[in-house]
Structure 1
Amino acid sequence: MARIFYSMAGEGRGHAARARTLVESLRRDHELWLFASDDAYDFLARSYGQNSPHAEVRLLRIPGLRYHYTRGRLDLWKSLRSGLQYAVREMPRLVRAFRQRIAAERPDLVISDFEPSLPRAARAERVPLVSIDHQHVLAAYDLSILPASLRRYAWLMSLGVRLYYRGQAATIVSSFYTPPLKRGWKHVRQVGPLIRPEVAAACPVSGDYLLSYLRSNTPDAVLETLCTAGMPVKVYGLGERPERGPLRFYPIHEQHFVDDLAGCRAVVCAAGNQLLSEALYLGKPVLAIPESQHHEQLINAHFLQHMGVGRWTLLEQFQPAVLRRFLEQLDEFRERTALLCGRLDGTHEALSILNDVLAQATQGRETVPSASAGG
Structure 2
Amino acid sequence: MRVLFIVQGEGRGHLTQAISLAQILQTAGHDVVGAWVSIADGRPIAPFFMDQFTAPITPVEGPGLTYCKKTNALDAVETCRKALKNIGRYRKSLRLIRDAIQKQRPDVVVNFFELLGGLTYAFHRPSVPMVCIAHQCLGLHPDFPFPKGKGFERLTFKWLVKMNAWGAQELLGLSFDKQPDVPEQRLRVVPPLLRQEVTTLQPTNDSYILAYTTQPGLQTEVVKAHQERPDVAIRYFHAGVNVAEKPIDATLTYYRIDGKRYLDAMQHCQAVVTTAGFESVCEALYLGKPVLMIPQPNHYEQMGNALDGQRAGVGVASDSFNLNQLMDFLPTYDAQVSERFRQWYNQGHFLFLSALNRAANSNRTTATTGQYGAVKPA
Please confirm whether the aligned pair reaches a TM-score higher than 0.5, indicating the same fold: yes
Total equivalences in the alignment: 347
Per the alignment, residue 175 of structure 1 pairs with 175
State the Cα distance separating 1:233 from its structure 2 match. Answer: 1.4
Describe the SS at the equivalent of 1:260.
Answer: helix
User: 1:104/1:32 Cα in 2 relative to 1: closer, same or farther (>3 Å)?
Assistant: closer
What does the per-residue CA deviation read over 1:131-177, in whole Å, with 9 as the maximum and x for residues that have no partner? Answer: 1112212233433x544334542222211222333332221111225
Describe the SS at the equivalent of 1:283.
Answer: coil
User: 1:278/1:150 Cα in 2 relative to 1: closer, same or farther (>3 Å)?
Assistant: farther
Comparing 263-272 with 29-38, greater Cα deviation is found at 29-38
Letter in 1 for 2:331: D
Describe the SS at the equivalent of 2:149.
Answer: helix
Counterpart Cα distance in 2 of 1:99 and 1:146: 34
State the Cα distance separating 1:357 from its structure 2 match. Answer: 2.4
Counterpart Cα distance in 2 of 1:147 and 1:61: 34
Describe the SS at the equivalent of 2:281.
Answer: helix
Per the alignment, residue 350 of structure 1 pairs with 352
Letter in 2 for 1:193: P
Matched, 1:41 2:61: no
Counterpart Cα distance in 1 of 2:140 and 2:188: 13
Letter in 2 for 1:244: I
State the Cα distance separating 1:341 from its structure 2 match. Answer: 5.4
1:229 and 1:324 in contact (8 A); partners too: no
Counterpart Cα distance in 1 of 2:14 and 2:307: 21
Per the alignment, residue 205 of structure 1 pairs with 204
2:6 and 2:114 in contact (8 A); partners too: yes
CA-atom RMSD in angstroms: 2.5
Matched, 1:67 2:71: no
Per the alignment, residue 13 of structure 2 pairs with 14
Per the alignment, residue 297 of structure 2 pairs with 292
Per the alignment, residue 324 of structure 2 pairs with 324
Q: 2:260 aligns with which of 247, 255, 280?
A: 255
Per the alignment, residue 246 of structure 2 pairs with 242
Counterpart Cα distance in 2 of 1:207 and 1:300: 27
1:282 and 1:341 in contact (8 A); partners too: no
Counterpart Cα distance in 1 of 2:219 and 2:254: 15
1:18 and 1:196 in contact (8 A); partners too: yes
Describe the SS at the equivalent of 1:135.
Answer: helix
User: 1:167/1:137 Cα in 2 relative to 1: closer, same or farther (>3 Å)?
Assistant: same
State the Cα distance separating 1:199 from its structure 2 match. Answer: 0.6
User: 1:162/1:22 Cα in 2 relative to 1: closer, same or farther (>3 Å)?
Assistant: same
Counterpart Cα distance in 2 of 1:179 and 1:189: 9
User: 1:261/1:142 Cα in 2 relative to 1: closer, same or farther (>3 Å)?
Assistant: same
Per the alignment, residue 368 of structure 2 pairs with none
User: 1:146/1:357 Cα in 2 relative to 1: closer, same or farther (>3 Å)?
Assistant: closer
Describe the SS at the equivalent of 1:202.
Answer: coil
Per the alignment, residue 51 of structure 1 pairs with none
State the Cα distance separating 1:298 from its structure 2 match. Answer: 0.7
Describe the SS at the equivalent of 1:127.
Answer: coil
State the Cα distance separating 1:249 from its structure 2 match. Answer: 1.7
2:7 and 2:37 in contact (8 A); partners too: yes
Structure 1 consecutive aligned stretches of length 4 or more whose deviation exceeds 6 Å: none
2:147 and 2:307 in contact (8 A); partners too: no
Per the alignment, residue 81 of structure 2 pairs with 81
Counterpart Cα distance in 1 of 2:221 and 2:167: 47
* TM-score when normalising by structure 2: 0.83
Matched, 1:111 2:116: no
- Percent identical among aligned pairs is 26
Counterpart Cα distance in 1 of 2:348 and 2:182: 23
What does the per-residue CA deviation read over 1:316-369, in whole Å, with 9 as the maximum and x for residues that have no partner? Answer: xx3xxx312321321211445444453342531222322332344457xxxxxx
State the Cα distance separating 1:182 from its structure 2 match. Answer: 6.2
Describe the SS at the equivalent of 1:41.
Answer: coil
User: 1:178/1:298 Cα in 2 relative to 1: closer, same or farther (>3 Å)?
Assistant: farther
Counterpart Cα distance in 1 of 2:295 and 2:162: 25
Counterpart Cα distance in 1 of 2:127 and 2:157: 27
Counterpart Cα distance in 2 of 1:31 and 1:146: 35
Per the alignment, residue 367 of structure 1 pairs with none
* TM-score when normalising by structure 1: 0.84
Matched, 1:306 2:311: yes
State the Cα distance separating 1:287 from its structure 2 match. Answer: 0.6
Matched, 1:129 2:130: yes
Counterpart Cα distance in 1 of 2:23 and 2:100: 23
Counterpart Cα distance in 2 of 1:361 and 1:153: 36
Letter in 2 for 1:284: K
Counterpart Cα distance in 1 of 2:44 and 2:342: 26
